[in-house]
A and B are shown apart, each in its own frame.
Chain A
Amino acid sequence: MPQKQTLTPDGLQALLDVLQARGYRVVGPTVRDRAIVYDDISSLADLPAGWTDEQDNGQYRLVRRDDEALFGYAVGPQSWKQFLHVPIQRLWKATRAGDDIRVSQEPVADEKLAFLGVRACELDAIRIQDRVMTGGEYVDPHYKARRDGAFLIAVNCSTAGGTCFCVSMDTGPKAETGFDLALTELDDGAGFVVEAGSEAGKAVLDELPARAANADEEAAAEAVVARTASSMGREMPAEGLRELLLDNLEHPRWDDVATRCLTCANCTMVCPTCFCTSVEDSSDLTGTESSRSRRWDSCFTMDYSYIHGGSVRSSTASRYRQWMTHKLATWVDQFGSSGCVGCGRCITWCPVGIDITEEVRAIRDSGRAEGGRNAG
C-alpha cells in the first residue's frame, strides 16, 4: 500500500494542470441549475466550494456551508455513466447507391477522460457497469474505448447524504479499490490526504507538490470517513435480499407502490448502474443515408416490453417490480453482484419520494411470502 501523502488546495490545482497537460478531458462537480452536476472542469474555481446538498425523499436543494470545502456534498442527479455509457451513441451509418448499401461502423471515441470527485459508491457503480458492458460475451467497443485509460480521482465522502446507504450496501464511504488517486478532504481547509491506487496514479502524484502525511493527518482523514459512515441517511436491509424479493413476486406491496409511482423513469435516469438502451433507425429524406443510434431507455416505459400489439408489463406494479427486482435480485444472477450501490439518487429524485429501502423493509416486515393479490 503506497504511503499516504498530503496536498494543499493549491496542490489540487496542480493536479488539474498535470492532467490537462497530459491531454485529459477533466470532468468534475460544478454548480449549475441549483444542483451539483458533472461537467468539464479547468480550475478549482469551477468546483462547488462551500456548497452542500440537503437530500430527502423527492427533495434536493443546495445549501451554503460555513466553510469552503470543495467536496462537502454527497451526490447530485448525474453519475459518471453519462460519460462512459453515453446517453446517445450512434452505432453505424449506411450509405445507399442504387441497390448497393455499405454499412460503416461508428468509430469509437478518442478521448482521455479524467473524473475528479468519484465517490466510493460511484466507483462501485463503474465497476458494475464495466461488468455489464464489457465483462460478458459481447464487449461494447464504445464503452470500452471511453473506459480504457480513464483516470479516476476518488473522493472519500466527508458528509453523508440524506438518502445515502452505502454502508448497508457495503460500497463505502471509503474508496477501497478501482481508483487511480483517492482524496480525503480534511476539515477547515487543512488540505487533502491523498493515496495512489495504481501505477498511473502514482506517476501523476509524483508530479504534484505533495509531502508524506503525518500521523495526525492520517488520523484526521480516517475520522472524516468514520463520521460519514456513522451518519448515513438510510439503511438497506440487505441480508437475504435476493431471496426475499424473488419469493415475493406477488406481494401486495407492489400494488401499494403502484398507487404512488408515476412511472416517470427518473430513478432509472439518475441511477448510476441502470444500463438499458433502445435503438432508433433514421434516414435522410432521399433514403440515401440511414443510421442507427442507441439511446438510454427505461423499463418504466410502456414501449419497453411491447410485443404483439401490447406490453408484457402494462401495469405500473409490474414495471416497478421489474425495476426493483432486477436492481436488487436478478442482477445477482446475471452479473454476480447487486445492481444497487446505495447512492440514494432514486430516493432523492423520485417526484413522489418512493424510497427503495422502505419498500424492501415493507416486504420484509410483512413477514409473509406470496401474500395477497397478483401484481397487476
Chain B
Amino acid sequence: MSTVLLPDPAPVGADPMLPRVARVLARRRDGPDVWTLDIEEEGGGTGFAPGQFNMLTAFGVGEAPISISGDAASPNRQVHTIRDVGPVSGALARLKPGDPLGLRGPFGVGWPMTEAEGQDVVVVAGGLGLAPLRPALYHLLAERERFGRIVLLYGTRSPGDILFRRELESWRRRLDVDIEVTVDHAGGDWRGHVGVVTTLIPRSAFDSANAIALVCGPEIMMRFAIVALRDVGLADEAIYLSMERNMKCAVGLCGHCQFGPDFVCRDGPVFRYDRLSRLIGLKEI
C-alpha cells in the first residue's frame, strides 16, 4: 500500500456530483425569456442560504448553475429563476409542472446576512441580478428589526423587463423599506425613474459609515455601482457582489470558474469587494 493517506469519499447518497431527482411544481413567466420554476425534491429540500445556487439538470441535455431565488425560510419549495439563453437553460425553462429534473446543491458562499445585522443595507440589483438577491430581501424583511434602513435600488432595461414586479410593488407599499426602480428607457406610461441604477445611489438615504451593500447584476453594472457606492463613502469591506463564471462541477474541481486564485463556485459566488478589487478591473481574468 502506498504511503499516501486519503480521506474517504462521501457516502453515495450525499455525493454532490450526483443529481437528486426533483419535480417541477409550478412554472411562471417573469419577464421576456425569464421563467421561474418552483421545484420540489423527494424527501424535502435541504435548505439553502440566500445567494447560493443549485446545478439543475435537464436529463439528456445538460446542466446549468441557476440562482435560488426563493425564500430560505421555506426550503421545501425551491424556487429558481432561469433565463433562456441556450440549449440547457432553454430545456429547463420549458419544463412543465410534473416534469422531473436533476438537482445538485446548494453550492457556494451566500450573502452576509449576519454581518449585515445592525447596519443599513443597500441592495443594488441590475436585470436578472435581482433573482439571487430576492432571498436576501425576504430575509431582511422577515427579520426587519435586526437591520437599520433597508434600501433596494433596482435597474433594468425597460418596464417590460422588470422582474418580480408585483412583489416589488407590494414591498413598495411597506413603510419600512425604500424601493426605487429605474429603467434605461421607457415609453409614456412609465411613471418611475429613467436612467442607470447607479444614479439612484447618491440620491438614496443611508448611513454610509454603518451600511453594507449587496450588489448583483451584469459585471459592468456592478463595477459602476461599486464606484458610486465608494463615492458616497462605503468602504471596500462593506460591499459584497455576486460573481458569475462558467461552471461544470460546482465543487471546485473542474477549474472552469476560476477568477484569479478563487473558485467562484466554492469561494463565491458572493465575494466581499476588497478580495476582488485588484482583479475585477483587469480585462479577461
* Physical contact A–B (CB less than 8 Å): yes
B254 CB → nearest A CB, Å:
5
A200, B100: Cβ atoms closer than 8 Å = no
B102, A278: Cβ atoms closer than 8 Å = no
Which B residues are in CB contact (< 8 Å) with A101?
21, 59, 100, 102
A198, B1: Cβ atoms closer than 8 Å = yes
Which A residues are in CB contact (< 8 Å) with B205?
none
B52 CB → nearest A CB, Å:
15
Which B residues are in CB contact (< 8 Å) with A305?
245-246, 256
How far is A276 from B57 in the complex, measured between Cα atoms in Å?
Answer: 21
Question: Which of A102, A152, A290 contacts B60 (CB under 8 A)?
Answer: A290
Which B residues are in CB contact (< 8 Å) with A137?
251-252, 266
Which A residues are in CB contact (< 8 Å) with B17?
91-92, 138
Tell yes or no: B12 within 8 A of A by CB.
yes
B256, A309: Cβ atoms closer than 8 Å = no
How far is A307 from B269 in the complex, measured between Cα atoms in Å?
Answer: 14
B282, A299: Cβ atoms closer than 8 Å = no
B255, A275: Cβ atoms closer than 8 Å = yes
A225 CB → nearest B CB, Å:
21
Q: A103-B21, A138-B252, A308-B85 are in contact. Are A178 and B100 (CB under 8 A)?
A: no
- Shortest Cβ distance from B1 into A: residue: A200
Tell yes or no: A94 within 8 A of B by CB.
yes
How far is A132 from B252 in the complex, measured between Cα atoms in Å?
Answer: 9
Tell yes or no: B98 within 8 A of A by CB.
yes
Q: A198-B2, A281-B61 are in contact. Are A103 and B18 (CB under 8 A)?
A: yes
Which A residues are in CB contact (< 8 Å) with B1?
148-149, 198-200
Mask: chain B, 237-259; 1 = CB below 8 Å from A; 0 = not: 00000001110110111111010
The interface on chain B, measured as residues whose beta carbon lies within 8 A of the other chain's beta carbons, has a size of: 49
Tell yes or no: B173 within 8 A of A by CB.
no
Which A residues are in CB contact (< 8 Å) with B19?
92, 94, 103
Which A residues are in CB contact (< 8 Å) with B10?
138-139
- Shortest Cβ distance from B267 into A: residue: A334
The interface on chain A, measured as residues whose beta carbon lies within 8 A of the other chain's beta carbons, has a size of: 73
- Shortest Cβ distance from A279 into B: residue: B248
Question: Which of A132, A148, A376 contacts B6 (CB under 8 A)?
Answer: A148
Which B residues are in CB contact (< 8 Å) with A102?
21
B59, A283: Cβ atoms closer than 8 Å = yes
How far is A133 from B285 in the complex, measured between Cα atoms in Å?
Answer: 24
Which A residues are in CB contact (< 8 Å) with B284?
312-315, 317-318, 375-376
Interface contact tally, CB-CB below 8 A: 166
B9, A279: Cβ atoms closer than 8 Å = no
Q: A99-B98, A103-B21, A334-B261 are in contact. Are A178 and B7 (CB under 8 A)?
A: no
Tell yes or no: B90 within 8 A of A by CB.
no
Q: A306-B246, A318-B284 are in contact. Are A105 and B254 (CB under 8 A)?
A: no
Q: A277-B254, A306-B246, A307-B244 are in contact. Are A100 and B100 (CB under 8 A)?
A: yes
- Shortest Cβ distance from A286 into B: residue: B60
A99, B249: Cβ atoms closer than 8 Å = no
How far is A276 from B260 in the complex, measured between Cα atoms in Å?
Answer: 15
Tell yes or no: A326 within 8 A of B by CB.
yes
B63, A99: Cβ atoms closer than 8 Å = no
Tell yes or no: A140 within 8 A of B by CB.
yes
A276, B256: Cβ atoms closer than 8 Å = yes
Tell yes or no: A333 within 8 A of B by CB.
yes
A105, B252: Cβ atoms closer than 8 Å = no
Mask: chain A, 259-272; 1 = CB below 8 Å from B; 0 = not: 00000000000000
How far is A148 from B20 in the complex, measured between Cα atoms in Å?
Answer: 28
Tell yes or no: B189 within 8 A of A by CB.
no
B18, A134: Cβ atoms closer than 8 Å = no
How far is A314 from B285 in the complex, measured between Cα atoms in Å?
Answer: 10
Tell yes or no: B176 within 8 A of A by CB.
no
- Shortest Cβ distance from A140 into B: residue: B253
Q: A99-B98, A282-B60, A290-B60 are in contact. Are A333 and B246 (CB under 8 A)?
A: no
- Shortest Cβ distance from B19 into A: residue: A103
How far is A283 from B59 in the complex, measured between Cα atoms in Å?
Answer: 8
A133-182: which have CB < 8 Å to B? 133-141, 144, 147-152, 177-180
A286 CB → nearest B CB, Å:
10
How far is A275 from B7 in the complex, measured between Cα atoms in Å?
Answer: 19
Q: A138-B16, A275-B255, A277-B249 are in contact. Are A250 and B282 (CB under 8 A)?
A: yes
Tell yes or no: A374 within 8 A of B by CB.
yes
Tell yes or no: B3 within 8 A of A by CB.
yes
Tell yes or no: A96 within 8 A of B by CB.
yes
- Shortest Cβ distance from A199 into B: residue: B1
B282, A178: Cβ atoms closer than 8 Å = no
A140, B9: Cβ atoms closer than 8 Å = yes
Q: Which residues in A have some Cβ–Cβ distance to B below 8 Å?
A: 91-92, 94, 96, 99-103, 105, 127, 130, 132-141, 144, 147-152, 177-180, 197-200, 249-250, 275-279, 281-283, 287, 290, 292, 294, 297, 299, 304-309, 312-315, 317-318, 322, 326, 330, 333-334, 374-376
CB pairs A–B below 8 angstroms (15 shown): A92-B17, A94-B19, A101-B102, A103-B18, A133-B253, A139-B8, A139-B10, A147-B2, A150-B2, A178-B2, A199-B1, A249-B282, A281-B59, A297-B248, A314-B284
Q: Which 4 A-B pairs have the closest CB atoms?
A: A283-B60, A276-B255, A318-B284, A333-B261
